[in-house]
């Protein structure tokens, strides 16, 4: 099996950085590769399932993808409504749900929609954005539009919880002309052995990191896949939430209960909608 021809992707970060462009979608265009790469990632799933149980549901998940988090939440007895911009991932989610018992399948609903504009009349005690989904909101206007939707969707006393990878100075400082190699893998879509390399390019003004992965099979042409992440820093996130109507912000480390520190890989953020200010003198 050979990989079908792909449209050429931009190879410079100057051509990327718009929510919904190739840097935001290409990484999710191959659900089989995504599942192979991240299927063993369970520590975040366990945390989100626990939070879903504690909330009692239903849960709204932005970046539902092919159900890596949503399906375990549904299997735990909690209803999930999800949003994603990747049609390929949602098609795979639909196929996965068809293989599950009806009582699990019926707990999952999903929409092909933009997280900045999606609206529903339902209110949720828990809104989730797992696995760096927040990093695909590249501009402040994107982030603020999304947070406005979250405020509309949270039930009174509900919480928004999301995680993001702490920026790694070593990645931001890498030579963008250098490729970093890794061992070969058998690609789950093509079935062929491929060597893959990565290169990193950082735009310090826009705070965007482009990771380009190059797949080189033993025979046939190589192909590349871009992934663009907006780099977020903890105090920046606190300020963003504060000025967009959220409070009670906590930052914990790596899906545990300890505070984030200099050894943290992923920061987990939990917050709620701020109570309206009472008029003075009342």
Question: What is the C-alpha separation between 114 and 40, in angstroms, rounded?
Answer: 27
Residue 24 located in a structural domain:
no
Considering the chain, what percentage of its residues have pLDDT values greater than 90?
87
Beta partners for 69? none
Is 193 domain-assigned? yes
Q: What is the CATH number of the domain that holds 113?
A: 3.40.50.150
Residue 61: both structure tokens together = 């998940």
Q: 269 and 160 in one domain? A: yes
Please tell me whether residues 173 and 185 are part of one structural domain.
yes
Phi, psi torsion values for 137, nearest 5 degrees? -100, 100
Within this chain, do residues 252 and 217 fall inside the same structural domain, yes or no? no
Q: Which neighbouring-strand residues pair with 163?
A: 268
- 142 and 255 inside one domain: yes
Regarding whether 262 and 135 lie in a shared domain, the answer is yes
Residue 189: which domain range? 169-230
Q: Same domain for 161 and 242?
A: yes
Element (H, E) at 270: strand 266-273
Q: State yes or no: pLDDT of 7 exceeds 60.
A: no
Question: Do you find a cis peptide bond into 29, omega within 30 degrees of 0?
Answer: no
Is the pLDDT confidence value at 272 over 80?
A: yes
Weakest mean pLDDT among 66-70, 85-89, 123-127, 219-223: 219-223
Instruction: Say what the pLDDT of residue 4 is.
Output: 39
Structure-block tokens of residue 84: 């994603």
265 with 133, same domain: the answer is yes
Does residue 143 sit in helix, strand or coil?
helix
**pLDDT tens-digit readout, 134-170:** 999 999 999 999 999 999 999 999 999 999 999 999 9
Asked if residue 127 and residue 60 are part of one domain, the reply reads yes
In a domain, 251, yes or no: yes
Report the domain count for the chain: 2
Q: Are 30 and 189 in contact (CB under 8 A)?
A: yes
8 within domain boundaries: no
SS3 94: helix
| Mean pLDDT, all residues of the chain | 93
Please check whether residue 87 lies inside any domain of the structure: yes
pTM: 0.94
| pLDDT given at position 2 | 43
Per-residue pLDDT tens over the stretch 96-107:
999 999 999 999
3 state SS of 21: coil
240 and 226 in one domain?
no
Question: Going along the chain, which residue ranges are E strands?
Answer: 59-62, 80-84, 108-112, 124-129, 154-165, 180-186, 193-203, 208-217, 223-230, 246-253, 266-273
Same domain, 119 and 212: no
- Say if strands 59-62 and 124-129 run parallel, antiparallel, or are unpaired: parallel
Q: Are residues 142 and 207 in the same domain?
A: no
């Amino acid at each position: 099996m050979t990989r079908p021809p792909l449209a050429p992707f931009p190879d410079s970060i100057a051509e990327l950085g718009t929510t919904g462009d190739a840097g935001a979608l290409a990484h999710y265009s191959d659900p089989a590769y995504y599942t192979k790469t991240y299927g063993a990632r369970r520590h975040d799933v366990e945390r989100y399932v626990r939070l879903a149980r504690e909330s009692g549901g239903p849960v709204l998940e932005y970046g539902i993808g092919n159900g890596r988090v949503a399906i375990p939440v549904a299997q735990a007895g909690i209803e999930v409504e999800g949003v994603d911009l990747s049609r390929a991932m949602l098609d795979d989610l639909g196929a996965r749900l068809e293989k599950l018992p009806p009582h699990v399948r019926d707990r999952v609903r999903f929409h092909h929609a933009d997280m900045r504009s999606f609206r529903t009349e339902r209110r949720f005690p828990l809104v989730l954005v797992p696995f760096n989904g927040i990093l695909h909101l590249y501009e402040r206007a994107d982030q603020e539009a999304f947070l406005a939707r979250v405020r509309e969707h949270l039930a009174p006393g509900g919480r928004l919880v999301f995680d993001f990878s702490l920026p790694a100075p070593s990645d931001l400082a890498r030579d963008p002309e250098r490729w970093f190699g890794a061992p070969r893998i058998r690609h789950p879509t093509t079935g062929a052995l491929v060597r893959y390399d990565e290169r990193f390019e950082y735009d310090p003004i826009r705070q965007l990191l482009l990771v380009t992965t190059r797949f080189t099979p033993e025979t046939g042409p190589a192909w590349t896949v871009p992934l663009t992440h907006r780099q977020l820093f903890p105090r920046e996130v606190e300020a963003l939430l504060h000025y967009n109507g959220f409070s009670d912000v906590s930052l914990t480390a790596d899906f545990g209960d300890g505070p984030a520190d200099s050894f943290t890989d992923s920061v987990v953020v939990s917050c709620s909608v701020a109570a309206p200010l009472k008029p003075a003198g009342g």
